[in-house]
Amino acid sequence: MKKETAWMIARFFMVTAAVFIIIWTTITLFKLTYPFWIAALFAWMLKPLSHILQRKFKFPAGLAALTSLLIGLSIFGGIITGLTFLIIDGIQRFADKAPTWMEDAFRNIQQFINETILPAWREASGAAENFSKREGFSFNEGISEIGTQIGTALGQFAQKIADGLTSIVLSVPTFLVAFLFILLAIYFFGKDWEKITDSVRQHVPIKLYKKTHAFHQAMWIRVFGYLKAQFILMTVTGIIVFIGLSLLRVDGVVTLAIIVGIAEFLPYLGTGTILLPWSLYLLVTGSIGLSISLAILYGVTMIVRQTIEPKVLSSSMNLNPIAVLVSLFAGLQLFGAVGLLFGPALLVIIVILIDIGVIEDIKYFIKYGFTEQ
Confidence of residue 240 (pLDDT cuts 50, 70, 90): very high
Greater pLDDT, 42 or 161: 42
d(C-alpha 222, C-alpha 229), whole Å: 10
* Torsion sign (Cα): 208, 209, 210, 211: positive
Q: Give me the pLDDT at residue 23, please.
A: 86
Burial of 222 (0-12, 13-18, 19+ CB in 10 A): buried
Q: How large is the C-alpha radius of gyration of the chain? A: 28
**What is the mean predicted confidence (pLDDT) over 51-56?**
90
Percent helix, strand, coil in the chain, to 5, is 90, 0, 10
The alpha carbon of residue 370 and the mean position of all alpha carbons in its chain are separated, in whole angstroms, by 41
pLDDT over 90 percentage in the chain: 8
Confidence of residue 137 (pLDDT cuts 50, 70, 90): very low
The neighbour count for residue 192, using CB atoms within 10 Å, is 16
What type of residue is 31? K
**What is the mean predicted confidence (pLDDT) over 131-154?**
55
Mean pLDDT for all residues in the chain: 77
Q: Give me the pLDDT at residue 134, please.
A: 47
> Is pLDDT of 3 > 70?
yes
- Domain borders along the chain are 1-194, 224-316
Look up the pTM and report it.
0.60
Specify which of 72-81, 215-224, 281-290 reaches the highest per-range mean pLDDT: 72-81
> Is pLDDT of 28 > 70?
yes
